[in-house]
Amino acid sequence: MEFHVKNGSVEKQRTGCLVVGVYEPRRLSPAAEQLDKLSDGYISNLLRKGDLEGKAGQTLLLHNVPNVIADRVLLVGCGKERELTERQYKQIIQKMVQVINDTGSTEAICFLTELHVKARSIYWNVRFAIEAIQENAYAYNDFKSVKPEVRRELRRVIFNVASRKDLTVAEQAVEHGKAVSTGVALAKNVANCPPNVCNPKYLANLALALADEYENINTTVVDEAQMAELGMNSYLAVSRGSENPAFMSIIEYKNHPNPDAKPIVLVGKGLTFDTGGISIKPSEAMDEMKYDMGGAASVYGTMKAIAEMKLPLNVIGVLAGCENMPDGNAYRPGDILTTMSGLTVEVLNTDAEGRLVLCDALTYVERFDPELVIDVATLTGACMVALGTHTSGLISSHNALANDLLNASEQADDRAWRLPMGEEYQEQLKSNFADLANIGGRFGGAITAGVFLSNFTKKYTWAHLDIAGTAWKSGAAKGATGRPVPLLSQFLINKAGV
């Protein structure tokens, strides 16, 4: 889909469909008012007759509006003025696209960016519109033998801005919106891919392909033999029961004006399938454990997004690929593992495997002398119990980093919530036989998982995002969400100061 911005008066727009808003109750937006004057009250007369109230998401498609040169005019209900939220705005944009696609129009000029979305600017109105349109257009049909019929659909959307001085920031919003949407779509594609195809080697090949696509990206892949030499025994223990070997992919993006600038490191949990190992999961919905690599998928998508935006940063993305299976060689409850850091861990539950992979990956990235490290993982069901499926969990011992991530999450409408990590949670991880246990008991599971990881991050500034509740949807809408690509991308946009 093509996206453009322009500044023009509504009466001069020749297009397949002209889109304007109507507030509740039957109050015309500025663009709709101009069309109403041009058409000698045609639109307001329809509203008086009750054709459209203006409730959020209502639509009325008009043909042959008097004195209007556009083929069609789509009126979209926008709810009460100045009460429109980001979520409602995105829903309105998606409804707009759905209606236009049914008309056969291939182009639309959209005046909905003039709407008052709470505390948002024209930049956000344009960017959120693009992200909503691309979200609506997403479909994963790679493994369907009969593809859905492709019909004549909307291919070009032009967003009108109120003044010429808004064009520069709106054009930047288009650039960022397209890049973030691309990153989200790629993250979804990887996560939705079935586990008999998407294994750790598949993740490694994707990482290598990024290096082929972008000159400022270099990818290296660490295999199991190299992991053994490095002492990554915790990571290898999780992989031991699988026929598919583990691979850790290191994607280095270098575009900082100072080539020696310390990198920002993103580490993504990449459990391409998680049976739970010997502590096997219930069979119900176990197919969704292909999504246990959602952290790696989001890091991959974010690396794609920042490469598209050409952000002036040095960023390293780590895809910690692994598979947790219960064969005769699998690790067991009661095993004691020596991690790359030298700390020992008593395994009490083999389904708490993500932290055992991540702890070695977090030790590995010390070699990059990072500015900061963020790990991203579908780590705990406990996070879903605490925060539901709408908000990601955030843990960090560094207030400035935590605040920056929370700010980015609010900006990108990809929300996170900070959880505590006091010393008392560390007490829950005590073991009689090792330095740490890999679980901390029934209560506070999302927190104790993050606190466990904190033991391996003493040498740099660190934060942890638990996306177990936000990386995918279940039920009729089952599928990956691509989160937290928007959050991570916005955090990096902010760091770049662009």
Residues with a catalytic annotation lie at: 281, 355
From the list 214, 219, 245, the residue with the least C-alpha distance to 232 is 245
Three-class secondary structure of residue 460 per DSSP = coil
278 near 325, Cβ under 8 Å? no
- Round the CA-based radius of gyration of the chain to a whole number and report it: 25
Residue whose tokens read 């739970």: 276
Sign of the C-alpha dihedral, residues 290, 493, 97, 114? positive
Six token digits for residue 340: 């790359």
Amino acid (1-letter code) at residue 344 = T
H-assigned helices in 289-422: 294-309, 354-364, 381-387, 399-411
- What is the C-alpha to C-alpha distance for residues 26 and 52, in angstroms, rounded to an integer? 7
What 8-state DSSP symbol labels residue 67?
Answer: T
Alpha helices in 231-353 (DSSP H): 233-239, 294-309
- Which parts of 428-480 are beta strand (E)? 436-437, 462-466, 472-473, 479-480
**Beta partners for 119?**
none
| Letter string b/e over residues 178-213, b meaning 16 or more CB atoms within 10 A of that residue's CB | bbbbbbbbbbbbbbbbebeebbbbbbbebbbebbee
Q: Are 364 and 340 in contact (CB under 8 A)?
A: yes
The answer to whether residues 199 and 272 touch, using CB atoms and an 8 Å cutoff, is yes
Q: How far is CA 214 from CA 88, 179, 265, in A?
A: 36, 14, 18
CA-to-CA distance for 436 and 195, rounded, in angstroms? 31
Cα(308)–Cα(64) distance, rounded to whole angstroms?
41
Q: Map residue 197 onto helix, strand or coil.
A: coil
